[in-house]
């Protein structure tokens, strides 16, 4: 009987060690909205997923009106973006096409925000590389 209890205990320990929340993953968030609820949501999700596993990689790709999150003078979440970049090691990438269309200069971007040639192309490349995809919305 003692042997059975030890075997069950070993199986449980193995199951916990292999639980999904203990494995880091990579996720790209697609943000096209200037809506503050969406902006707050993506910042909260980054904090939550990296809180479960700090090795999880996250990238927010912004095009369309999503740029407002990282443009000085438009963003109401400057400190939250800075915290996500420094504490959670999140990457924030803006689409150069959207910048051109909205007449946003790189000098207007918050510190440490990257520019990618094409936001949609960045998302597709991440998906091809095995990243999960989340469309930000409410």
pLDDT in tens, the chain (138 residues): 444 444 444 443 334 444 555 688 999 999 999 999 999 999 999 999 999 999 999 999 999 999 999 999 999 999 999 999 999 999 999 999 999 999 999 999 999 999 999 999 999 999 999 999 999 997
Beta-carbon neighbour count of residue 47 at 10 Å? 16
Q: Structure tokens of 74?
A: 């438009």
Q: How far apart are CA 58 and CA 115, in angstroms?
A: 16
Structurally, what CATH architecture does the domain formed by 25-135 represent?
3-Layer(aba) Sandwich (3.40)
Q: How far apart are CA 94 and CA 114, in angstroms?
A: 6
For strands 57-62 and 114-116, give the pairing.
unpaired
Beta-carbon neighbour count of residue 132 at 10 Å? 12
Query: For the chain, which residues make up each domain, given as ranges?
Result: 25-135
H or E stretch including 120? helix 119-128
Main-chain phi, psi angles of 4, to 5 degrees: -65, -45
For strands 132-135 and 26-31, give the pairing.
parallel
Q: Structure tokens of 18?
A: 């292999």
Q: Report the pLDDT value the prediction gives residue 20, as an integer from 0 to 100.
A: 53
Contact 113, 92 (CB under 8 A): yes
Q: Report the pLDDT value the prediction gives residue 25, as an integer from 0 to 100.
A: 94
Q: How far apart are CA 70 and CA 127, in angstroms?
A: 23
pTM over 0.85: no
């Amino acid at each position: 009987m003692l042997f059975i209890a030890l075997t069950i205990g070993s199986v449980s320990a193995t199951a916990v060690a292999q639980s999904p929340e203990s494995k880091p993953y990579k996720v790209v968030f697609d943000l096209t909205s200037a809506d503050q609820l969406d902006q707050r949501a993506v910042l909260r999700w980054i904090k939550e997923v990296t809180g479960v596993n700090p090795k999880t990689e996250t990238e927010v790709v912004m095009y369309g009106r999503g740029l407002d999150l990282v443009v000085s003078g438009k963003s109401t979440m400057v400190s939250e973006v800075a915290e996500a970049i420094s504490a959670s090691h999140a990457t924030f990438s803006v689409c150069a096409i959207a910048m051109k269309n909205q007449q946003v200069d790189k000098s207007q971007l918050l510190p440490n925000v990257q520019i990618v040639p094409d936001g949609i192309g960045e998302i597709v490349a991440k998906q091809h590389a095995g990243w999960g995809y989340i469309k930000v919305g409410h």
